[in-house]
Structure 1
Amino acid sequence: MEVWQAVAEALETVGRAALVTVVEVRGSSPREAGARLVVWPDGRFRGTIGGGALEWRAIAEASRDLGSGRRSVRLSRIALGPELGQCCGGQVGLITEVLDASDLPAAKALAERAKAGPFTTVARFRRSAEALERDAVDTLAGPVGARLDDDGLLTEVFGERRRSVFLFGAGHVGRALVMALAPLPVSVAWFDPRPDAFPAHVPANAGVSLLGDPADTLAAAPEGSFVVVMTHSHSLDLAIVDAALAADAARFPYVGVIGSATKRARFERRLTEAGRAATRVADLVCPIGGTALKSKLPAVIAAATACELLVRDEQCIAALSPVAGGRPVDLRAPLSAQA
C-alpha cells in the first residue's frame, strides 16, 4: 500500500479518512514502527498494523474519531498484555489522524512525491493540534518507518523502496528464486545468455535480458544492488563474480553464487590470483542461502536465498536510515509550499 495514494483516494471519494501510524515500539509487538492503516468512515481499511486485538481496537477508535466530524490528531500508548491480553508483552504508540477534504492537496503532493522513491518527512506532534504539518526532507534509502522523539518530533519515511537484485541464470533455481522474490520489495533484473531459458511469463517486479559481457551488464546496475549468480556455467559464474567484486561493497553489498564449499575455495583462489582485494573476496557469499537447510530442491534453495537477501537488505537499510538513528535529516521546503 502506498499510504498517501490510499489517503487521497479516500478523501476524493468520501471526503474523510483516518491515518493510523505505529510511531513507538517498546518490547515485542505485532508490527514495526512505521506500519500504517488507512480507515474509511464506513469501517473499510487498507494496510495493517499487525492484525489481532491491537488492529481491531485501532480501527474502532479511528472510526469513533471519524464520527466526530472534525480534523484531529491523537497519540495513544497501549500496553499489549494488560490492555489487550496479547502475549507480545510490549507497548505500542499509535498516532491517529483524522483528515478531511482540506488535506487532499497535501495528500496528493505526498503521493506524487512517493512516485520518485523513498523520502523523509518531519513534523511536530502537539496534543492540542488538529493536524500534523509534514515538511519534506532529502531523499533517503531508508525503510518505511516512523519515530516519535521525546520532544515530539515525528520523523517518517514514505514511498516504496525496492532493492535492485541482479540475478544471473534462468535455470531451475533461478526460476524458483524469481517466484520467491515476486511478492517482496525488490526489483529483479534477470539475465541469461540463452534466449530460450526464460519462462513465457515473469512476475511484475522482474525484467529479463540476454546476458552479454558481465562487466558491461553490472556497470548499469544501480548503487547498492545485490548480485546473485547461478548460471549454467562455472566459468561464467566466475566471470560475473569477478566483475562484481571489482567494485566496492557500497556498490554491490551482496555478491552471492550458488555452489558448494569446494566451489567457494576454487573461486577464492582464482579471484585472489586475479588481484581482487582480500576483503572483497571474503565478502563473497557461497553457498547462498546458508547451510542450515540440507535440501537441494530448487524451491527450498530459493526460499533460503530470499530470506538471506532480506536479512542483508535490512542490515544495509539500518546503516543509512535516519529513523534508525543514522545520518541527520536536512530540512527542505515544506510540502505545503509545493502543493
Structure 2
Amino acid sequence: MLNKDTAGFHPQSWSEAVHQLTQASENYVLVTILGTAGSTPRANGTKMVITASDIYDTIGGGHLEFKVIEKARQLLTESKAVQQVENFPLAAKLGQCCGGSVAVLFEMMVVQQPTIQVHGAGHVGHALVQILSQLPLRIQWVDSRVDLFPEQVASNVDCIAEPYPEDAVKDAPENSLFIVLTHNHQLDFTLTEKIIARGDAAYLGVIGSDTKAKRFRMRLEHKGYSQAQVDQMTSPVGLAEVGGKLPMEVAVSIAGQVISIYQQGATKQKRAGLSWKQLQNEIALPDVAEHAPSETEN
C-alpha cells in the first residue's frame, strides 16, 4: 500500500507542497524528470513531491510513478540528504507501452528547522515572534497569560498557554534555542535554571540589564552550577551593536543574534550531491526507435 489513511494524493502543486512541508519540518523527496527519450507521459522538468504518507503533483501516473514513489519512500526511511538519478525504460518490464525511457532525479530533503522557544508574550515578545516567524524556524511561544496571544499567528508558530511556563522547557526538542523575556524576574531565573540544567540548549538568551545578568550569574554559581554551565546564558540578550530600547529595536537585536546562531549550525550540515560528470553519465538514455508508439497515456 502506497499511502496511509487516504489515497495520499493532494491537490497542491509540488511548489506549494515544498513550502508547506518545509514549514511543518517534514522530510520529503523532490522528484524531477531530467531527461526523456522516445514517447513518455510527461516532459523534462516535470516534478512531484513524495512524503512518507502523501503525494503531491504527478510525473504521469502509471507503473512508472508507482516505482518512483516506491524508491522515494525507501530514501525517506534512510533519512539522509542525498541526490540520486535512476533510468526507467517504459517498456513491458515496467508495465507501460509508451516505449520511451525516462531519467529521474531523486532529491531527498531532510528538513532540519531549528526550534526556538520564546518565553514571554509582552511587547518585545510580540515584536520578536513577528520577525522570527518569517525565518526557517519552528517557534514555540510560551506564556501563562493566554489572552496576550494574538488571534492569528504564522503557520510555524505554536502558542503554548502554560500555567507553569517552566514545564514547557522540558518538552522542547534537543538543541533548541531559548529566549527568556517574561514580565517577572523570578520566572526568568527559574526558566534560565531549567534550561541550563537540560544541558543541551543550542542557545539561551535572557533579556535584562547588565546588573540583572550579574545577579543571575551569582545566583547560579551559588546553586553549584559550574562556570561552563553559567556561560551557557547570553545576557543581556541581543547584538551589542544594535542599540535602542523600543520593542522592535530590541527584537531586531535578538533576531540578529538568533540568525547568527542557527546559520552557524546550518554551515555544518552538507548535503551529498552529484558532480556534473556523474550527472551526465546518469542521465544518458538509450536510443529509442523512431517508430516507437506515440501513446501518451499509461
1:278 lines up with 2:239 in the alignment? no
Q: CA deviation at 1:278?
A: 1.2
Match of 1:228 in 2: 179
Q: CA deviation at 1:200?
A: 2.4
Counterpart Cα distance in 1 of 2:78 and 2:185 = 37
Q: Which deviates more, 226-235 or 281-290? A: 281-290
Counterpart Cα distance in 2 of 1:173 and 1:118 = 37
1:287 lines up with 2:248 in the alignment? no
1:181 lines up with 2:142 in the alignment? no
1:120 lines up with 2:87 in the alignment? no
| Residues 204 and 111 of structure 1: CA distance in aligned 2, closer, same or farther (over 3 Å) | farther
Counterpart Cα distance in 2 of 1:227 and 1:272 = 20
Q: CA deviation at 1:159?
A: 4.2
Preserved contact between residue 143 and residue 160 of structure 2 (Cα < 8 Å): yes
2:150 aligned to 199, 210, 218, which one?
199
Q: Which amino acid in the other structure matches residue 247 of structure 1?
A: R
Q: Which amino acid in the other structure matches residue 201 of structure 2?
A: F
Counterpart Cα distance in 2 of 1:117 and 1:284 = 36
1:244 lines up with 2:198 in the alignment? no
Q: CA deviation at 1:243?
A: 0.4
Preserved contact between residue 170 and residue 231 of structure 1 (Cα < 8 Å): yes
Counterpart Cα distance in 2 of 1:295 and 1:114 = 49
Match of 1:323 in 2: 271
| Residues 220 and 104 of structure 1: CA distance in aligned 2, closer, same or farther (over 3 Å) | same
Match of 2:117 in 1: 166
Relative CO higher for 1 or 2, CA cutoff 8 Å, sep ≥ 6? 2
- SS across alignment from 1:310: helix
Q: With structure 2 as the length reference, what TM-score do the two structures score?
A: 0.61
1:260 lines up with 2:209 in the alignment? yes
Match of 2:262 in 1: 313
Match of 1:50 in 2: none
2:247 aligned to 298, 303, 309, which one?
298
Larger Rg: 2
Preserved contact between residue 118 and residue 160 of structure 1 (Cα < 8 Å): no
- SS across alignment from 1:120: coil
| Residues 228 and 97 of structure 1: CA distance in aligned 2, closer, same or farther (over 3 Å) | same
- SS across alignment from 1:246: helix
- SS across alignment from 2:231: helix
- SS across alignment from 2:118: strand
Counterpart Cα distance in 1 of 2:189 and 2:130 = 25
The CA deviation string for residues 45-72 of structure 1, in whole angstroms up to 9 with x for no partner, is xxxxxxxxxxxxxxxxx9xx8999879x
Gaps of 5+ in 1: 11-36, 41-61, 72-95, 135-155, 326-339
Q: With structure 1 as the length reference, what TM-score do the two structures score?
A: 0.54
Preserved contact between residue 115 and residue 138 of structure 2 (Cα < 8 Å): yes
Q: Which deviates more, 260-269 or 231-240? A: 260-269
- SS across alignment from 2:221: helix
Q: CA deviation at 1:230?
A: 0.4
The CA deviation string for residues 164-192 of structure 1, in whole angstroms up to 9 with x for no partner, is 11111000000111111122111111111
Aligned residues: 224
Q: Which amino acid in the other structure matches residue 314 of structure 1?
A: Q
The CA deviation string for residues 175-214 of structure 1, in whole angstroms up to 9 with x for no partner, is 1111111221111111112232222222221122223444
| Residues 323 and 194 of structure 1: CA distance in aligned 2, closer, same or farther (over 3 Å) | same
The CA deviation string for residues 269-322 of structure 1, in whole angstroms up to 9 with x for no partner, is 111111222112112111222111111121122222222212211222334x24
Preserved contact between residue 170 and residue 191 of structure 1 (Cα < 8 Å): yes
Counterpart Cα distance in 1 of 2:252 and 2:263 = 17
